[in-house]
Structure 1
Amino acid sequence: MLKNKSAYALIAPALAVLAVVIGYPIIRAIWLSFQADKHLDPDTGMFVEGGFAGMQHYLYWLTQRCMTPSGEIGTCPPGVISTDFWPAVRITLFFAVVTVVLETILGMWMATVMNRDFKGRGLLRAAVLIPWAIPTAVTAKLWQFIFADHGIVNSLLGTSVGWTTDPWAARFAVIIADVWKTTPFMALLILAGLQMIPKDVYEAARVDGASSWQIFTRITLPLVKPALMVAVLFRTLDALRMYDLPVILISASSNSPTATISQLVVEDMRQGHFNSASALSTLIFLLIFFVAFVMIKFLGADVSAKEGR
């Protein structure tokens, strides 16, 4: 009992700091999401303070519900940022699924190669991490140059694809740039899991006559699954809040073909709508929490690395 009290006393300062640094912004954002913005009172013609708004901001995003100048509730007209919400959700989920799948496949392949014993393995591991170490803004500018109208890609392929203007080409440009940058992160986490597998297991499988494919599917994949699922979890959560890469590489506009939901939050704040931006931030938080819960509860992404739960 005394040891437990000592442990609580030691971790209490850290928990207090985390509560302030992490807990307060979340609570503040949720509180702001239920407050109305300053608005024009139709009776007096004067701007008044917000007050309690209930679910108004959430309905603004989810159902594109706006208040007309006459004070009536109606559907938001084209050009209002809330009309870009569902397209941004679809684009965000599309980016998350495609990039995570590609990065998992490539990361597994790269980790398998780096796990072998060969001359120069340390140099290869260091070189692989370079794209991940480069700041995202630099990565975006680099790929913007590569995907320019007269850039490297079009010159090599002999094409004239508008990689930064055509909607689907722009989306694939973002995916390619993101996969190039973050695949080393996946490979690093998977490599850590591969190195935990005893070499004796592989030797026993080879003695029993198992093929390379059987060894991979029946030994490597099951034993590396905990590390693999944690890598997928971290990368999925990161992809769901993607912002800087599509903004710098393609466009910062909320109706851009590569606009993500995080991009809408920043754009809404730039327009001075901090309360509705807080509501959207809360929706993003709930989305990420739901995805994390599903992956941990049902898909085996157990970050505690303990079996039998």
Structure 2
Amino acid sequence: MTTTPLAAPAPPRAKGPREGGRAALLLSPTFLVLALVILYPLLAAIYQSMFSSTSGVDDSGFVVEGNQFVGVGNYLDIFAGPDSGRFYNALWNTTFFTFVSVSLETVIGVTFAVLMNRAFRGRGFLRAAILIPWAIPTAVSGLLWRWIFQSEGIVNTLSGQEVLWTADGFAAQVAVITAEVWKTAPFIGLLVLAGLQIIPGEVYEAAKLDGASAWRQFVSITLPLVRPALLVAVLFRLLDALRMFDLPFVLIGPRSPSVETLSILAWDSSNQLEYGTASAFSIVLVVYVAAIAFVFVTLLGANVVGSGDSPRRARRSARSPKEARQ
């Protein structure tokens, strides 16, 4: 009996120009929306940042108002002008609020996720209740915490102190960070919880049989396998916190040096009809946010997508050193 050799599989057919044109046609509405929503405002802001609003009196005694082209003059004034100290203060506040609040949110969010991932009575109610701070609008949340932190509010009543939390200084920074962490920690917790749901239970059972403690399981299994979801959550929060505006604006108010961020500084410049300076502040903020995102993705983004043998590798790393050598 003779056997017929199996035919080799045909190589994949290359996409022709017709398919490429069809794909571009289908994606063109998305590109058009992105160009209108993102590209055009960005280019308009760059163009506006090169002009400065001027007003004066001409030779005839009439008031003359208009825009004067100054090139990079607005950017030079931001970094080295007479009011550059206000910019550096806002830059420091933005960076301080971002990294302190995101760090606290990460720790609290991961803790919430680990607790909510356990089986206990009322787990569904707890998962729904933790969404309440995130669902409340930021302006409403700022008013709520302003009532809590006022001179005769709940915080001073319970502590027996008379701290002016909503005035200025370090107390105002603590109030903003507290309100920010309360509102956005559930966001990180829910994303991390979604990552915990896909970890096989057999991995933990095998680690228990190998003698791994609860802390060793958390460090060697939970954190490595939940790292992709955690990095995405932290990245989203970094980008959001760097643009912080509404919470310190409502809770403390504008023109407060201790809580003034770059977004508030840009708003204040536009409110003073200094649109060129406001646009320059906005462009600087965009570049700063893009730089932070690039550094974050470059340093940590390589391991965002885990490999297929991650559960097996996590189980092996969860074993004790003695068992791993055997």
Aligned to 1:19: 35
1:26-105 equivalence runs, <5 A:
26-40=42-56, 47=64, 49-64=66-81, 76=82, 82-105=84-107
Q: 1:256 is matched by which residue type in structure 2?
A: P
Query: How far off its partner does 1:17 sit?
Result: 1.1
Aligned to 2:198: 196
Match of 1:218 among 220, 228, 231: 220
Query: How far off its partner does 1:162 sit?
Result: 1.2
Q: Deviations over 1:127-161 (max 9, x none)?
A: 00100000111111111111111110111111111
Q: 2:75 is matched by which residue type in structure 1?
A: Y
Relative to the length of structure 2, the TM-score reads: 0.84
Q: 2:134 is matched by which residue type in structure 1?
A: W
Relative to the length of structure 1, the TM-score reads: 0.89
Q: Does 1:266 align with 2:284?
A: no
Q: 1:103 is matched by which residue type in structure 2?
A: E
Q: Deviations over 1:208-264 (max 9, x none)?
A: 1100111011111111111111111110111111001111111112x4311111001
Contact 2:74 2:276 in 1 (8 A): yes
Contact 1:295 1:301 in 2 (8 A): no
Separation in 1, partners of 2:302, 2:36:
28
Give SS of 1:49's match.
strand
1:127-276 equivalence runs, <5 A:
127-253=129-255, 255-276=256-277
Aligned to 1:72: none
Separation in 1, partners of 2:53, 2:281:
14
Query: How far off its partner does 1:306 sit?
Result: 6.8
Give SS of 1:50's match.
strand
Separation in 1, partners of 2:303, 2:286:
20
Query: How far off its partner does 1:193 sit?
Result: 1.4
Q: Deviations over 1:33-92 (max 9, x none)?
A: 11232244899986353242111010111112xxxxxxxxxxx2xxx5x54111111111
- 5+ residue gaps, structure 1: 65-75
CA RMSD of aligned residues (A): 2.1
Separation in 1, partners of 2:307, 2:53:
49
Separation in 1, partners of 2:35, 2:302:
25
Separation in 1, partners of 2:143, 2:103:
24
Distance 1:281 1:166, change over 3 A: closer
- 5+ residue gaps, structure 2: 1-14, 309-326
Identity level (%): 48
Aligned residues: 291
